[in-house]
A and B are shown apart, each in its own frame.
Chain A
Amino acid sequence: MRLRTSIRTLESIVYPIAGMVAVLALWQGYVWAFAVNPIVLPSPLAIARATAANHEILLSQTWPTLRESVYGFVLALLVGIPLAVCVANSRILNLTFYPILIATQSIPKVAVAPIILVWFGIGMESKLVIAFLVAFFPVVVDTATGLKATPAGLLELARSVSASPSQTFWKVQFPAAMPFIISGAKVAVTLAVIGAVIGEFVGSNEGLGNLLLSANAQLDGPLAWAALVWLSVLGIVLFFVVVAAERVLMPWGHH
């Protein structure tokens, strides 16, 4: 049995890598075979070289983007979860705020970005706010869904032992909603990075989004793509930070 699990683990590492290598090889072969202009599509090797040559600037431009994303994400959790608690537990608040929530969600964030820039300036605040705006919605919706989806049997159990409303919330509803909150957070953290980059595109003087734009403007294809790769790595790392948090917060796994 242990052997089978370790084969499983091995498979789950080997196959994704094999897939990645295959795609990169095809890409490299295509660029070589057709001598594609690196401004249009640089080869993976060219991107790797550009990454190595520019690693200092890439690293230094990662910090602003990381900070904007993480702050926006954390703010989305801090505001989103309590709001979801209110919405899930009060019919009146639900009726009052849910339509507004849906309405704000349907506004395209890219379109608001210039306005946010006017309000909050060209510095970090405007990026943080845009990251917050895009990350906020999945947190609220998933948390509220999770709180409302508390198994009826557990609520009845709480009632049968005369649990107070706050005991019922903290000991039953909230832990029962944890899987939903975490899946909301996984979506939110990825969106937060996108939000930060949108902000940087619209107006900034630092960050990976800014670097990507200026590399593009200077027709430096490999550097633009290196920034893009760096951005995805940032997104993946943040995603796995949430996955690690899930392991700590939910040692019982998902059920």
Chain B
Amino acid sequence: MKEFVLYTGCTTPVRLPAYEAAVTVVLEKLGVRLIPMKDVNCCGAQYIESLSHTAFAAMSGRILAIAESMDRDILAICGACSGSLKAVKHDLDSNKVLRAEVNELLADEGLKYTGTVEVKHLLQIFNEDIGYDAIKAAIVKPYHGVRLAAHYGCHVTRPPEIVHVDDPENPVIIDTIIEAAGATPVDYVGKTRCCGGPMLAMDEEVANKIGLDKIKNIRDEKADGIVTACVFCDIQLTQVQFGDMAGDEPKIPVLTLPQFLGPAMGINFDSLGIQLNKIDPQAILQEM
């Protein structure tokens, strides 16, 4: 059984614990065991990152060094975290001065960054470590006639030369998994555009307009649901549908990728936290 340490990031454990639970059970069933990380800190994305590149490198660097001490590669399930950890790993591997400064800060705790661990986003685990054949083989209750829109998340696929996940202009991993589980992936205008989540801090109205524009494009293709691979995207694409600007069209259920895959693998809804979803996905889950 392959093992990874799981870096949940700040948001998932509090705002979307069902994602954490679903990832853990689905991967376990596909032969990947996750070991929780203890005593970690925020990766520094967006906020610390904007003020001091060095402080940002130290915060993400500490997470990388803890994974090294646990002797396992890291799985990150949040787009921002996976992006940060990968970018900082790239910097620490190519910039000796920065690495020395970060290691000086880590030395008090007996930690050291040497560059031995890899950082993977969830999509890479499915694509590289499990593979589509094994996913197909694990499907016991395939979906029928459900149309689903994949939303990849900006920091999951960009910048491609650092994150190495999928084609940034035409990503396929989520769509391939949707198909493997028997459902129909649908394309839509602006598929690789942002959910608007990172804009919430500076301008909520603009952030929500961006999110709703995506919902509209997905609705235009008559999709039954949206499948996500980042906690921020999942929350943003859900919450914009409840806002003042949302209108009264029926809401489109949003599912994290493991929550979509789990039921088709015969995993019960409770352990996937389906009951916690703010937009009831029953309409999708019935079609099996």
**A, B: real partners:** no
